[in-house]
Structure formats: C-alpha cells, structure tokens
Structure 1
Amino acid sequence: MIRAIQNRYYIYKVSFAFLTYIALVIPLYSQDKPNIIVIYTDDQGYADLGVQGLVDDIKTPHIDQLAGRGVRMTSGYVTAPQCIPSRSGLLSGVYQQRYGLDHNGTIPMPLDQELLPQMMQKAGYITGMTGKWHLEPNHQQITWIEENLPQLKDKEVQPSDISLEEKMPYYPSSRGFDEYFYGPMNRYWINYDLQGNKVEPQWKEEEGYRLDLQTEATTAFIKRNKDQAFFYYLSYFAPHVPLEATEKYLKRFPGDMPERRRYCLAMMSAIDDGVGQIKETLEELGLLENTLIFFISDNGAPLKIDKKDIPISFKGGAWDGSLNGPLVGEKGMITEGGIRVPYIISWPKVLPKGKVYHRPVISLDVAATALAVAGLDPNPNLDGVNLIPFLKESLRTDPHENLYWRFWNQTAIRSGDFKYLVAGNKEYLFDLSESPVEDENIISQYPQLAAVMRKKLERWTDELKNPGISQLSLTSAEEAWYEFYLPKTIK
C-alpha cells in the first residue's frame, strides 16, 4: 500500500505541469463572451443540496437542475472556513493570506488589491452585485484599526466608531461594481431599483423578505443589461443567522424536526426559488445557454458541535440549521467540514451536462475561469486556474498540484488525494480517497510523505504577508473542535 500511495502522489506531480500547459493553450470554447453569474451562499453546509444525495429533507429542485445542466464538484473548496477571508479569496482570485487577510479580525479587503469585477470591466463587461459584502472595515479588525485609526487603539471599539466616510472606499460601489444593490437585510446602498431604473446612489429601505429582495435585484439587473455581456455577484445572506423565513417557505417543511433545521430548509428553499427565477429570466431573454453560473457556499455550516436547537428569537451565533455530513468538522476548522462546500458550474453552451467531477478545485478558480472565458490573457498574479478545459475534457491531472489553507492556528495542504494538517502541536495525514474522509490519521504509517508535504506547506507559508506555520497553541474553540471531531489515535 505504501508503494501505491507513493506512486499516486508522484504521478500527480510529474504530469501536472505538462497537462496544465496543454489545457491552457488549447481553445476549447467559443469566442462569444458569456454572461457570468457568481452565486455565493452563506454558511451552507456540504450536505444541503438535494443533488448531493446526503439528506432527504432538503428541497432544491432548481439548483439540482443547475447541476443537471452543468458540473457538480464533489471536492470543491473555499480558501477559509469564515466569511471575510473566504469572500476575499473568491473576489481577488488570490490566497488572501498573501495580503494579510487571514481571518475576520485582521483587515478589510486592501484598497490596492484588484478585484474580479475590476478585471471584468477591463474585458468590457458591465458589473453588478447584491446581498452581503462584508469586506469593509469593522470594529473587530484590530490590525487595521491600529494602523488607520490610532485614536481608537486603547478603547473597546464599537461598530459606530468607524464612520461611513471611512467605510465607503471599501464598498462595492468603489471596488469595480458599475451597478449595485448592496445590503444583506432590508437597507440597501443602490444605484438602480427593483424595477430596473437607474437612480442616484442612495440608501433605501426595502420592505420584504431579504432573500426575495436579493433575487429581485438580480433579475432586475439582468433585464437592464440583457444586450451586453455582464458579470453579476449574487451573495445571498443565508442560511447564516439571524434565521428568518416567511410562511411561504416554512410551510413547505411540516413535521417533527429541530426548528432551526426547519428555518434553514425554508431559507434554502427561498434561495432555490431565486435560482429558478434567475434561470427563467435568462431563458426568456435567450441568455441561458451562454451564461456561466457558479454556485458555491462561502464555508461549511457552524454546527457548534452539538447542534442545539436554540429558539429562533436568538439572533446571535448558533447552529444555523445546516449540515456538513458526512464531512468532519464545521465552520472555523480547516477539516473538510469547514472548507469543502457545495460547488456547481453550469454553462450549457460549453460544458457537459450532468457531469460529476471528483478532483479538487477551489473558489480561487472562479476569477481565473471568468477572465479566460472573457477573453483576457492569464493573470500571473492569480492563484486559481481556468477550470473549463478540465471540466470539458477528461484531463488526467488535477487542476492544482497543491491546495493550501491557513486559518487561526491551523494549516493544511492537499496534494492529490492526500491532506497534511497541522493544528497547534497536532499533526495529521489523511487519505481523502478513503471513506469516510479524515477518519484515520495515517501519519505514523507514511512519515516520509508527511515530511514532503510539510516542506511544501512551509514554502507556501513563507510567501505570505505573515509568514510561517503557526507555532501557537490552539484557541479554546479550536481545542474543543479537534478534541471532538478528530481521530484520537494515530495509526
């Protein structure tokens, strides 16, 4: 078995460079620029799509159909198990640790970091967004506050201490979005309305359910811009807390179940209806075949270990009702349950229909893929790759030789089917081709493989703004997670 594992590992390594080059230079799709829509959900676990086939209570027929008309990834990852760094990686196409945005409490998205919508503008696309942003300064970002608001250094910073004037340069309206309906709940910063009219930039209170509003903003943008190539970022604020749903969606899920689960199912049903309305709008306008749609969650579900069914009236951090099973772990961890997420790509004109792709991909690939299909030259600064050749053809190599993570006091690398993980003073090696994943720590059996992967991981962390693998002990939350979820014995 040792020889087989080593052979698998080195085959990935040797074939990667050559086949990746071939994939990049062969034109595999039409020169017509597709429209591009990126749908990013919030705290949605890996299990919570019907097409995943893992739970029997979820109802997502429209998203399932999206997968049926495209490609579903079984090893689709994000760059962090938390909102801000995950969104930073998606929209920059760069590992966010390269510019120091390791977790929510560090910095906002740096103003000198070019974002995907800015890149798409260069390709002649009109760009738009709605929903959650979360990349502006906030009161928890101690590093940024110390550097930019030294007067607040020695006080307990409140959200109101950071003015709107200080936040505005970081808003979507200043970061490459031509049109915006920005807001997670009912207050929106807009320059177009839900009827599709252009308006002067303004704050507007909207009545209605937050997910329905975000769908309406998306379809209004599509109708406004049907005659030109567009890029749209739909960042649904769900099923993240606070849990909210209307009776329209709640009544679809009768029966005995945790109430938080019921609300999660209802919120996912609202998102699913939204995906259906977006597809219907595209089809009516004759745009569906040549629209590239990504559907991805920003991280795994926050289970809080025991999934307590706290009353819905509690609006703070708690289990959001979503599920990660059968993956190990949850939001905040770089085990699979925290970083492996629902991930679908649909482009009916180009991609095969109903394909299931098992090799590892990551949210960084969205930017590289979007630029490629928009006709721009490859950007050497990006960490992602153009996925279209890998999904369209049966290439016998992974899109990435290695994928990396560093979050809090956890660091990991995936090479082929193998994952090496460091959490405080704990080390793990997993064969992710085995099921269930991360159930058996095989590091004592394959120390040489672990040593090779650690060197690769060290080289990557040395490139980061704050270099190195964390030498700190796990936080109390991390310690509780790793004690609960990870194998107790090394085999």
Structure 2
Amino acid sequence: MSLRIVLLALMFLTSGCGSDNSSPQEPDAQTKSQTPPNVVMIVVDDLGWADVGYNQNTDLFETPNIDQLAKQSLRFDNAYAGAANCAPSRAVLMSGQYGPRHGIYTVSPSTRGDVQTRKLIPTKNKRGLNAEVVTLAESLKEAGYTTGHFGKWHLGADPDTQGFDKNVAGSGNGMTFHYYSPYKLPNIEDGPEGEYLTRRLTTEVIDWVTSIKDKPFFAYVPYYTVHTPFQADASVIQQYLDKGITDKKQATFAAMVEHMDNNVGRILDMLKAQNLADNTLVIFTSDNGGYKMSSFPSPLRAGKGSYYEGGLRVPLLFRWPNKIKPGIDSTPVINADFYPTLLSMSQKPKSGLVLDGVDLSPLLLKQAALQSRDLFWHFPVYLQAHNSKTDQGQDPLFRTRPGSAMRSGNWKLLHYFENNEYELYDLSADLGETNNLADKRPSILKDLSAKLDNWRTQIGAPIPSELNPQYSEEVNQQLIEKELFKRK
C-alpha cells in the first residue's frame, strides 16, 4: 500500500479530531440538484482590494471588464487571502488548510531583514506543498473534471504532479522577470519577440477550454501580473501619465492592471462565444493585498506582506448566471473556503479531508447566511519592509514581525510574539486600523486572545520563543528612529 493511500486512510479515521470544519460533509439537496459547473478561477498576483475600478477611491484604474463582471456577480466586500504574500496564500487556497497544517508561512526564507533587528529565531518555512497534500485540483480531477493550470504555481513541484492535466508556465518560480517574450520561464515556449505574457496565458486558456469544452473543466488562471517587475506597453503607460500619475512605476502598474482587465474580458467573451457562460462558475480574486502606493489611496492600512487589512483583504467575485444572484455580501470569507465550496458544487463529498474553510454554496445559491465563525492567520516569521514610508507596518523595519491575527465579527486582533503585544481594532468604525483599543476594551481583548490561543493549540501552530543571540535592542531602536526621522 502506498504512503499516499495510508495517509488518506489516516486522514479519514482522524478527521473528527480536527477543526469543526473538518468532518465529512455531503452536498445539500439544492447543490445536488444542480449540474456541476465548469470552473474558471482567476487569481491575480498582488492586486490590492482597491486596485479595481469598482473599489477604487479615484478614477485612475481602467477595469471595465472586471467592473462589468462585478455587476453580474456576488461580490464579497470582506474577502480575505489566506496569507499576506504569495506562496502561503496559494498554499491555503490549494490545500484548503491554514498555514500551520502545511507549514508555508512566507516566501522563503523566514529570516528576512537585518539579523540585529530580529529578536526571535523564526519558525523555519517550507518552500512547497508536501506531495501528501491532496490539492483542490486533485479532488476536482477525482470528481471528473479535466484540470488546467495557466500561470504562476509557486508551491514547489510543477503543478502537473499535483492534480493538473495541463500546465502552462507553472513551476516553483515566484515571479517572471520578463513580461515580454522571450519569457525565460519553465513550462512555456517563448512566443514571438515582444509577445506579452498575460495575453499569451489567456490565449492558452482560451485554446485549451475550446478543445475540451465538452468535458467538465477546472481552469486555474493564476496570472503572474501584476507582480513586479512593472512592465507594460509604452502607449498605455503614457495614458496614465496623462491622467495625472507622476510616478512612472505607478503609471506602469496601472497599465498592467488594464492589460490584465483586457485579458479577463477575453476569457469572458470566449465563454459566451462557446455557449459555456451559463454553466461556468467564474471566480475572480487576488492572492494577497497590493503594495501601498501614493498614487492610489486606499481606506485600508498597509499592503502586501502585512497582516493589517491592506495586506489581507482582496477583491472577490463569484459569477454563475441564473444560479448565483448578483449583489454585494459583507460576510467575512477566506480563500480556504474555495476548496469545500467547489467540492460541494462538484457533488463530491470531503471523504475525510481536513479542511479549514467552509462551504459557501448555501450562501451563493440560496442566499442563506453562514454560521458565524472566526478567521485566523499565523505568521511566525519576519518579512522586511518594502517602503518604510508607505508600508504602514507596526514599525518601519518590517511589514511582518512574528505573530498571529484573527477576525471575529467586526473585531480584528493582532498578537506580536517578540514583546507579547496586542492590537485590537473595531473594523466597523476604524477600517484603517488607526485606533488600537487593546487597553480600552479589556473584556474583548481577553475573549479574543483566548480564542486565538485555543485555535493555535488545536491546530498545532508553532510559536517561536528562542531568542536570537545576534539581536541588538540598541541597533533595532536606532534603525527604527532613523527611518522615522526620514519621514519628517
């Protein structure tokens, strides 16, 4: 008997010992009555919550296709990534599990930033999903879907070893350095010189779907864009400079968003032309928050790499014509929910899988309220500052110092391990997380910190406690003060 079969059997026998979400669950009666949909899941890299037209605070971004999709979709305004940067968030999505179960907390290594400013020895990070993890793609394949991957994998081995029948451009690479061909990426042939990667990936999606459209399909489209390096057509960049963006890099970012939107439109047009739109569930989201940029104001604090709202909150749309009623929903959801939701819609039981997300299909298909639950994040690692002036982190040296975070109702709790510090925010009154209420609301702090402790114990979350012998409190404080002085 193979190791994989033994592990699956053990998972089935022990699934009742996990979280409340880990017990086997059959699809409900209404879900069973639906024909399982095709699935197109578009995951944009580093697209912030406010970086799409329907969420922006300015008129700078041009995303007409995504804006139209939003009108046709159930739009979640309190949607979260499973982590604040690339690999760990994708690991949560593909495994349906929180970080402590798969051990991917950041983009390796976990020892980022000046060693003299790291008080603790952080938890060692895993670089990819273990082969024993049953991915979403593997489960959908078992349910009868043909599976295709188009873009960034970043979870270790090539995706065709973890459930995908077709793989274009997916590997352990976390980014491309060349948006224009030659791409110099594994698992994709270079196109004509000057071909744009986002367009090429979209063409690959369209060609593949067209060729297998008579079979149920799962098209996973994790674009490399809009991750750095910022590269776009000069004429489109000029368009944003003409609109008043004075920083050329930020104008280029806006142009990349427009390129991405154009290609989302091509996928939607293809589904319509191939008479697939009515039986295809389209999911549109981002893997984490975007970089905080001065040209694009956001009500959210911080950005990619931070466990404030700007690093975690993402756009999220679900469209299934005549099945999912368009509108806006404020329920807090997380990308760990995609796995159990798609299993339910594919009419495949969990079969003993330990999943930390919940099935959203009752909400999506029947507008039934979800049972109240808390969302959790764990980051026992360091991630250095990106731009200390705009990061809006706890301090200017790091976007993340080791800690955990949770959302419970409208409350957001952050716990930093170095000095056992807590931050508590009421998101209903303070979306920008500017007013720390930890000292003013002791009963709320006590309740939430107990919940967080209980979750960490149940899931086996590692909490670093070993002191770093190279740490210098004096150097740490001097560097913090130096960065703060620059802002004056």
- The answer to whether the aligner puts 1:182 opposite 2:135 as a matched pair is no
Contact 1:24 1:386 in 2 (8 A): no
> What displacement does 1:334 show?
0.7
Once the two structures are superposed, the pairs formed by residues 166-177 of structure 1 within 5 Å of their partners are 170-177=157-164
> What displacement does 1:23 show?
11
- The aligned residue for residue 140 of structure 1 is none
> What displacement does 1:96 show?
2.5
- The answer to whether the aligner puts 1:228 opposite 2:201 as a matched pair is no
**Aligned partners of 2:76 and 2:464: how far apart in 1?**
29
**Over aligned residues, Cα RMSD in angstroms?**
2.9
**Aligned partners of 1:418 and 1:341: how far apart in 2?**
18
Q: 2:287 aligns with which of 298, 302, 326?
A: 298
Contact 1:29 1:350 in 2 (8 A): no
- The answer to whether the aligner puts 1:132 opposite 2:135 as a matched pair is no
3-state SS in 1 of match to 2:269: helix
One-letter amino acid of the structure 2 residue matched with residue 122 of structure 1: E
- The answer to whether the aligner puts 1:446 opposite 2:436 as a matched pair is no
One-letter amino acid of the structure 1 residue matched with residue 299 of structure 2: P
Q: 2:378 aligns with which of 385, 406, 418?
A: 406
> What displacement does 1:440 show?
1.5
**Aligned partners of 1:30 and 1:129: how far apart in 2?**
28
- The aligned residue for residue 10 of structure 1 is none
**TM-score scaled by length of structure 2:** 0.76
Aligned residue pair count: 402
- The aligned residue for residue 368 of structure 2 is 395
3-state SS in 2 of match to 1:271: helix
Contact 1:129 1:181 in 2 (8 A): yes
Contact 2:84 2:304 in 1 (8 A): yes
**Aligned partners of 2:67 and 2:234: how far apart in 1?**
23
User: C-alpha deviations, 1:124-170, integer Å up to 9, x for none?
Assistant: 0000011111112xxxxxxxxxxxxxxxxxxxxxxxxxxxxxxxxx1
**Aligned partners of 2:191 and 2:209: how far apart in 1?**
20
Contact 2:403 2:414 in 1 (8 A): yes
- The aligned residue for residue 370 of structure 1 is 342
- The aligned residue for residue 15 of structure 2 is none
**Aligned partners of 1:348 and 1:472: how far apart in 2?**
55
> What displacement does 1:468 show?
3.6
**Aligned partners of 2:343 and 2:324: how far apart in 1?**
17
- The aligned residue for residue 269 of structure 1 is 258
- The answer to whether the aligner puts 1:245 opposite 2:217 as a matched pair is no
> What displacement does 1:436 show?
3.3
One-letter amino acid of the structure 1 residue matched with residue 278 of structure 2: E
> What displacement does 1:123 show?
0.5
- The aligned residue for residue 323 of structure 2 is 350
Contact 2:27 2:349 in 1 (8 A): no
User: C-alpha deviations, 1:12-31, integer Å up to 9, x for none?
Assistant: xxxxx9xx999964525742
> What displacement does 1:388 show?
2.2
- The answer to whether the aligner puts 1:430 opposite 2:425 as a matched pair is yes
3-state SS in 2 of match to 1:110: coil
Once the two structures are superposed, the pairs formed by residues 451-462 of structure 1 within 5 Å of their partners are 451-462=446-457
- The aligned residue for residue 209 of structure 1 is 196
- The aligned residue for residue 67 of structure 2 is 64
**Aligned partners of 1:331 and 1:95: how far apart in 2?**
18
**Aligned partners of 1:23 and 1:176: how far apart in 2?**
22
Structure 1 unpaired stretches of 5+: 1-16, 137-169, 191-202, 309-320, 485-491
> What displacement does 1:392 show?
3.6
**Aligned partners of 1:262 and 1:427: how far apart in 2?**
37
> What displacement does 1:54 show?
2.2
> What displacement does 1:100 show?
1.5
3-state SS in 1 of match to 2:66: helix
> What displacement does 1:363 show?
0.5
**Aligned partners of 1:73 and 1:334: how far apart in 2?**
19
One-letter amino acid of the structure 1 residue matched with residue 146 of structure 2: I
- The aligned residue for residue 312 of structure 2 is 339
Contact 2:99 2:378 in 1 (8 A): no
**Aligned partners of 1:226 and 1:249: how far apart in 2?**
34
- The answer to whether the aligner puts 1:360 opposite 2:363 as a matched pair is no
User: C-alpha deviations, 1:86-145, integer Å up to 9, x for none?
Assistant: 110111111122121122222111111111110000100000011111112xxxxxxxxx
One-letter amino acid of the structure 1 residue matched with residue 53 of structure 2: G
User: C-alpha deviations, 1:168-205, integer Å up to 9, x for none?
Assistant: xx111111100111245524555xxxxxxxxxxxx522
Structure 1 residues 469 and 349: CA distance shift in structure 2, 3 A:
farther
Structure 2 unpaired stretches of 5+: 1-19, 109-124, 171-175, 382-401
**Aligned partners of 2:235 and 2:219: how far apart in 1?**
27
Structure 1 residues 392 and 470: CA distance shift in structure 2, 3 A:
farther
Contact 2:26 2:349 in 1 (8 A): no
Contact 1:41 1:239 in 2 (8 A): yes
Contact 2:96 2:340 in 1 (8 A): yes
- The aligned residue for residue 272 of structure 2 is 283
**Aligned partners of 2:26 and 2:73: how far apart in 1?**
19
Contact 1:43 1:298 in 2 (8 A): yes
**TM-score scaled by length of structure 1:** 0.76
Contact 1:329 1:338 in 2 (8 A): yes
- The aligned residue for residue 144 of structure 1 is none
**Aligned partners of 1:39 and 1:393: how far apart in 2?**
24
Structure 1 residues 329 and 270: CA distance shift in structure 2, 3 A:
same
Structure 1 residues 428 and 69: CA distance shift in structure 2, 3 A:
same
> What displacement does 1:465 show?
5.0
User: C-alpha deviations, 1:338-379, integer Å up to 9, x for none?
Assistant: 1111111111131112x1111100011111111111111135
User: C-alpha deviations, 1:365-404, integer Å up to 9, x for none?
Assistant: 1111111111111355111112121234443445x51100
**Aligned partners of 1:210 and 1:100: how far apart in 2?**
31
Moved beyond 6 Å, runs of 4+: 20-24, 469-477
Contact 1:422 1:428 in 2 (8 A): yes
Contact 1:331 1:339 in 2 (8 A): yes
3-state SS in 2 of match to 1:63: helix
Structure 1 residues 342 and 173: CA distance shift in structure 2, 3 A:
same
